[in-house]
Amino acid sequence: MSTLTLSERGQALAKQSMRSNFRAMFDAYDVETNPTGFVNMGISENYIMLPDVAKFAKRTFDCTPKTFTYGEGPWGSGRLRQAMAKHMNKHFHPIIDIKADEILFANGVTSICEMLGFTIAEPGDGILIGQPIYQAFRGDFGTKADVKLVFTPFEGVDQFSTACVAKYEQALLKAQQSGTRVRALLICHPHNPLGQCYPKNTIVELMKLAQKHKIHLLMDEIYAMSVYDIDDPAAVPFQSCLAFDSSEYIDPDLLHVIYGFSKDFGAGGLRLGCMYIRNKDLLNAMEAIAPFHWSGALNDGVAASMLEDEEWMSKFLDKSRSVLAEHNRLTRSILEEHNVEYSHGSNAGFFIMVCCTSLHGHRLSESS
């Protein structure tokens, strides 16, 4: 009866309540205070680096009365956008310098995706995406913007090779034939959850595909600074899509880079995601709805302080990559010791794809 008090969209949302999904967060394991709690393996966080971030913020950040105002607007302060532009120019090696006015901030990459759903697509349109992929994209684009994910199966084809492009195009054409208009191709580079980087030649071919079908190419590079060296010939070094001249492959108005603080900087709690946009109309459209995705001035100030302290940031990133490489090696050694198969080439983020079928003595069905 209570759902009758809601609109139709409200009734639909009531069936999607996510509170139970977050139980592992509000009932988290602690050896002393909550030994029966959950060990959360469902969220990608660089837990080992969290104390470094907390120590930096406690030692460095100085609040002022302005910190507790509305700040300079919902798309990030000029100070933060300038600091991020400088950071990306230093570490992403863009062929064209990134300008502060081409960066838009929101309260997390989740919000960036939702804003994109509203501004580049109509309800029922599709975003082309590979399999496997970060599972929360479905809600990011679909819960409010009502944009579908058009999944691409690779069926034995290496999804990091140029052969993947034909598979993406097949999925796009199939979706269009069934009445779903595809508006964008979303690529995680480095990949979540496979932890691999795309070679430049594959990125180029993906750009050509987006240009051919006049769709946006959304490059999620949120793990760009979490790529480390490992003894694995299958591992590909990271090169940002901005690090070479792509103008002959794709219209700059169709190429966008998504980034944020939750992964490389171990600061998901700041709720700050951003997007590099050269498409002025898209930037204007996203700014129009930015007030609904406004991060606080306190978060803004802490984030800017992190980026501006380049000496601290350099040491932090070096330590993070070293720790990630160490734990990658440890994980591989344990898997190999127990004859558990895993995907090779993973040198980014917090991921290794493991095949658990051998642990059960039989191959799991698709429904499992």
The domain limits of the chain are: 1-43, 65-312
User: Model confidence over 82-139: pLDDT tens digits?
Assistant: 999 999 999 999 999 999 999 999 999 999 999 999 999 999 999 999 999 998 999 9
Q: Name the least confident of 135-139, 147-151, 279-283.
A: 135-139
Alpha-carbon gap, residue 210 to 251, rounded angstroms:
9
1 — pLDDT class (breaks 50, 70, 90): low
User: Model confidence over 36-58: pLDDT tens digits?
Assistant: 998 887 788 888 999 999 999 99
- CA distances 318 to 93, 311, 314, Å, are 17, 11, 6
When pLDDT is averaged across residues 265-280 and rounded to a whole number, the result is 97
User: Model confidence over 190-249: pLDDT tens digits?
Assistant: 999 999 999 999 999 999 999 999 999 999 999 999 999 999 999 999 999 999 999 999
| Sign of the CA dihedral running 241, 246, 249, 254 | positive
CATH, domain 65-312, list 3.40.50.620, 3.40.920.10, 3.40.640.10, 3.30.499.10? 3.40.640.10
Q: Name the least confident of 18-22, 183-187, 352-356, 361-365.
A: 361-365
User: Model confidence over 180-206: pLDDT tens digits?
Assistant: 999 999 999 999 999 999 999 999 999
367 — pLDDT class (breaks 50, 70, 90): very low
When pLDDT is averaged across residues 145-149 and rounded to a whole number, the result is 97
Whether 151 contacts 132, CB under 8 Å:
no
Instruction: For residue 348, give the nearest of 321, 329, 330, 366 by alpha carbon.
Output: 321
Alpha-carbon gap, residue 109 to 222, rounded angstroms:
9
CA dihedral 115, 96, 87, 141 (to 10 degrees): 20
When pLDDT is averaged across residues 334-349 and rounded to a whole number, the result is 93
Name 274's Cβ contacts closer than 8 Å, sequence gap at least 6.
76, 81, 84, 103, 104, 105, 106, 112, 258, 259, 260
Alpha-carbon gap, residue 129 to 143, rounded angstroms:
17
Look over the chain and give the mean of its residue pLDDT values, rounded to a whole number.
93
Specify the pairing of strand 255-260 against strand 273-276: antiparallel
- CA distances 119 to 134, 176, 251, 282, 311, Å, are 22, 20, 18, 7, 38
In the predicted structure, residue 362 carries a pLDDT above the cut 50? no
In the predicted structure, residue 366 carries a pLDDT above the cut 70? no
pLDDT of residue 365: 38
Alpha-carbon gap, residue 108 to 94, rounded angstroms:
23
Q: Name the least confident of 59-68, 102-111, 341-350.
A: 59-68
Alpha-carbon gap, residue 226 to 346, rounded angstroms:
11
Name 187's Cβ contacts closer than 8 Å, sequence gap at least 6.
130, 198, 203, 206, 217, 218, 219, 220
2 — pLDDT class (breaks 50, 70, 90): low
Whether 343 contacts 194, CB under 8 Å:
yes
- Per the listing, tokens 């492959």 go with 249
pLDDT of residue 360: 58
pLDDT of residue 368: 31
Q: What is the 3-state secondary structure (H, E, C) of the chain?
A: CHHHHCCHHHHHHHCCCCHHHHHHHHCECECCCECCCECCCCCCCCHHHHHHHHHHHHHHCCCCHHHHCCCCCCCCCHHHHHHHHHHHHHHCCCCCCCCHHHEEEECCHHHHHHHHHHHHCCCCCEEEEECCCCCCHHHHHHCCCCCEEEEECCCCCCCCCCCHHHHHHHHHHHHHHCCCCEEEEEEECCCCCCCCCCCHHHHHHHHHHHHHHCCEEEEECCCCCCECCCCCCCCCCCCCCCCCCCCCCCCHHHEEEEEECCCCCCCHHHCCEEEECCCHHHHHHHHHHHHHHCCCHHHHHHHHHHHHCHHHHHHHHHHHHHHHHHHHHHHHHHHHHCCCCECCCCCECCCCCECCHHHHCCCCCCCC
